[in-house]
Structures are given as structure tokens and as C-alpha cells.
Amino acid sequence: MEHQKAVHVAQLIILLDVFRDDLYEELIKTLGNQAPEFLRAVQNSPDWEGYKNYVYTFAKCY
């Protein structure tokens, strides 16, 4: 059972990594060279904490 859970978690990490790459490419297409700076600004905004907590709560379901 532990091995099966580890495989499942590893697969989720891989899927998230691919999805993250796709999303980042979209951001670059939209914002060009400003994408990294914009991403940092959003990550450092006060609103991010609430959203981050929502995502972490959702992720714990898996």
C-alpha cells in the first residue's frame, strides 16, 4: 500500500510539473519578458496567502 501511494504521489508531482510548465509558457506568451517579474509580484502580494491556503487544503484531499 505504501508503494502504491508513493507511485500515486510521484505521478501527481509529474503531472503538476508538466501543467506548471504549460501555464508558464502561456504567461510568457501573454506578458513576454515581464512574465517573471509579474509572477513574483503576484506571489508576494497579500492576496496570495489566502489563495495558497485554499490550494494546499485542496491538495491534501489527495
pLDDT digits (tens, 9 = 90+) for 3-62: 999 999 999 999 999 999 999 999 999 999 999 999 999 888 888 777 777 777 766 766
Residue 28 — φ and ψ, nearest 5°? Answer: -65, -40
Rounded Cα distance between 28 and 59, Å, is 26
Would you mind telling me the total number of residues written for the chain in this entry?
Answer: 62
Structural domain span for residue 31: 2-59
Phi first, then psi, for residue 45 (nearest 5°) are -75, 150
Please give the tally of structural domains in the chain.
1
What pLDDT does residue 22 have? Answer: 96
**CA triplet 46, 48, 52: central angle to 5 degrees?**
140
The pLDDT of residue 50 = 76
For residue 52, how far is the Cα from the chain centroid?
10
